[in-house]
């Protein structure tokens, strides 16, 4: 299992999410008012298998978990500290949600998940990644800017409860027109 980074806590791992993570994902999401909010069924649908294929084969879902510190042979219950969910629309990816537990923020977990996602999109030769974020969500906007995303538009009253505009961000990866020019 890949380690998060050399500097990070060695008990942290990034891995693909599975259906058993849904309760922890929902708990993280519910604690973050600025996160996108989905009904449980929408998360569960990420992991539904039909004819041997995930129904959402155009999706990625990753979590960062912390290994529980318990004596050997004791059953472990690892802690989910962060998750990212995204889906592919034709040649582009949309970041649908990213949440880091309050107690683990500003420790690069968001950066680690986003970098993994960008690498995935590059490997797939996607043309880019887009996302919407609440205008007031300065922390997330700074993070996206640091990773090369650029503002690409504004969606008036995109969000409800509370009503707010969305800022659209885009990261261009691959021109995908002629040749193989990566940006």
Ligand X SMILES: CC(C)(COP(=O)(O)OP(=O)(O)OC[C@H]1O[C@@H](n2cnc3c(N)ncnc32)[C@H](O)[C@@H]1OP(=O)(O)O)[C@@H](O)C(=O)NCCC(=O)NCCS
CA 143 to chain centre: 13
Binding of ligand X by 4 (CB under 6 A): no
**CB-nearer residue toward ligand X: 34 or 57:** 34
User: What single DSSP character describes residue 179?
Assistant: T
**CB-nearer residue toward ligand X: 29 or 67:** 29
Yes or no: say if 112 and 64 are a contact pair by the CB < 8 Å rule.
yes
With CB under 6 A as the rule, give the number of residues binding ligand X.
21
Structure tokens at 10: 């060695």
Min dist. Cβ of residue 24 to ligand X (A) = 14
Please select the residue that binds ligand X; options are 24, 100, 118, 173, rule is CB under 6 A: 100
Interstrand relation of 128-134 and 92-100 (parallel, antiparallel or unpaired):
parallel
**CB-nearer residue toward ligand X: 35 or 173:** 35
The residues, any chain, with a CB within 8 Å of residue 27's CB and separated by 6 or more, are none
Binding of ligand X by 31 (CB under 6 A): no
Binding of ligand X by 136 (CB under 6 A): no
Binding of ligand X by 34 (CB under 6 A): yes
Closest among 19, 28, 80, 77 to 48, alpha carbons compared: 19
Binding of ligand X by 143 (CB under 6 A): yes
Segment near ligand X (CB under 6 A); pick from 42-50, 52-60, 119-127, 133-141 = 133-141
Binding of ligand X by 148 (CB under 6 A): no
Closest among 178, 150, 173 to 92, alpha carbons compared: 173
Cα-based torsion angle of the residue sequence 174, 46, 30, 23 in order, rounded to the nearest 10 degrees? -140
Please select the residue that binds ligand X; options are 87, 111, 116, 136, rule is CB under 6 A: 111
CA 162 to chain centre: 23
List, by residue number, the catalytic residues: 132, 144
Chain residues that interact with ligand X, rule: CB under 6 A: 32, 34-35, 98-100, 105-111, 133, 137-140, 142-143, 146
């Amino acid at each position: 299992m890949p380690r998060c980074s050399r500097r990070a806590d060695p008990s942290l791992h990034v891995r693909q999410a599975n259906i058993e993570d849904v309760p922890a994902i929902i708990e993280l999401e519910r604690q973050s008012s600025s996160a996108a909010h989905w009904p449980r069924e929408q998360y569960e649908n990420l992991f539904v298998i039909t004819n041997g294929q995930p129904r959402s084969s155009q999706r990625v879902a990753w979590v960062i978990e912390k290994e529980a510190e318990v004596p050997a042979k004791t059953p472990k219950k690892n802690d989910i500290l962060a998750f990212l969910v995204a889906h592919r629309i034709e040649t582009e990816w949309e970041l649908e949600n990213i949440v880091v537990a309050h107690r683990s923020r500003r420790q690069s977990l968001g950066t680690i998940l986003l970098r993994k996602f960008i690498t995935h999109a590059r490997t797939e030769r996607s043309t880019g990644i887009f996302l919407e974020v609440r205008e007031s969500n300065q922390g997330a906007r700074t993070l996206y800017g640091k990773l090369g995303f650029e503002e690409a538009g504004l969606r008036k009253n995109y969000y409800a409860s509370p009503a707010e505009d969305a800022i659209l961000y885009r990261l261009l990866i691959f021109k995908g027109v002629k040749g193989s020019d990566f940006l």
